[in-house]
Amino acid sequence: MLKIAQNKRVRVSADIELKDRLVGVQRVVKVTKGGRAFGFSAIVVVGDEKSIVGIGLGKSKDVSTAIQKAIESAKKNLVKVPIFKGTIPHEQASKYSGSQVLIKPASNGTGVKAGGAMRAVLESAGVKDVLAKSKGSSNPHNLVKATLKALLELRDPLTVATQRGVSLEKVFNG
């Protein structure tokens, strides 16, 4: 898990309804003396679509077990992200390994304008309106981690107002 996520983890209770989305399944081949050994790795995003999201990676000899392991891993790594009026509070860019992402707030009714791996994270987090662009590597593992990193670097308006010692109205209107 990302280091920035360590202090933003959320404990999941039984009453939270988490939905999981499969981002990708890769077939991995290990060549040995006796032939080829096939395995699978799966990356999954879980979220309640109300600002709680988590990512997980599972590996196994068969696909269904890899997906189950990924879901369990994602449930252990849940974090809370700030969402303001169905979108994100401000523009944010982030980088993880070779993937770079840029997410921007959008007006109401825009929808989620994002590619596959980014879309899964943003929709699971509960973001309804956002513009997103990915640059660099399109590796789904790195894209998901870069998107989560960008979401974790966001600051909600109430926190900004208290840190600056001004009213919430002044944060938006200057």
CA 22, CA 16: separation in Å to the nearest integer? 19
- The predicted pLDDT at position 9 comes to 73
- Token pair, residue 29, equals 């081949």
Above 80 in pLDDT, residue 21? yes
- The predicted pLDDT at position 156 comes to 86
Report yes or no: 171 and 161 within 8 Å, Cβ to Cβ.
yes
Q: Could you report the per-residue pLDDT of 100-118, keeping only the tens digit for each?
A: 999 999 999 999 999 889 9
- The predicted pLDDT at position 12 comes to 66
Above 90 in pLDDT, residue 1? no
Residue 5 — very low, low, confident or very high, per pLDDT cuts 50/70/90? Answer: low
> ∠ CA 85-88-93 to the nearest 5 degrees?
170
- The predicted pLDDT at position 121 comes to 95
CA 116, CA 123: separation in Å to the nearest integer? 11
Q: How many residues does the structure list for the chain?
A: 174
What is the reported pTM? Answer: 0.89
Which of 81, 89, 80 has the alpha carbon at shortest distance from 130?
89
SS3 content of the chain, % helix, strand, coil (to 5): 35, 35, 30
Instruction: Give 107-169 as a 3 state SS string.
Output: CCCCCEECCHHHHHHHHHHCCCCEEEEEEECCCHHHHHHHHHHHHHCCCCHHHHHHHHCCCHH
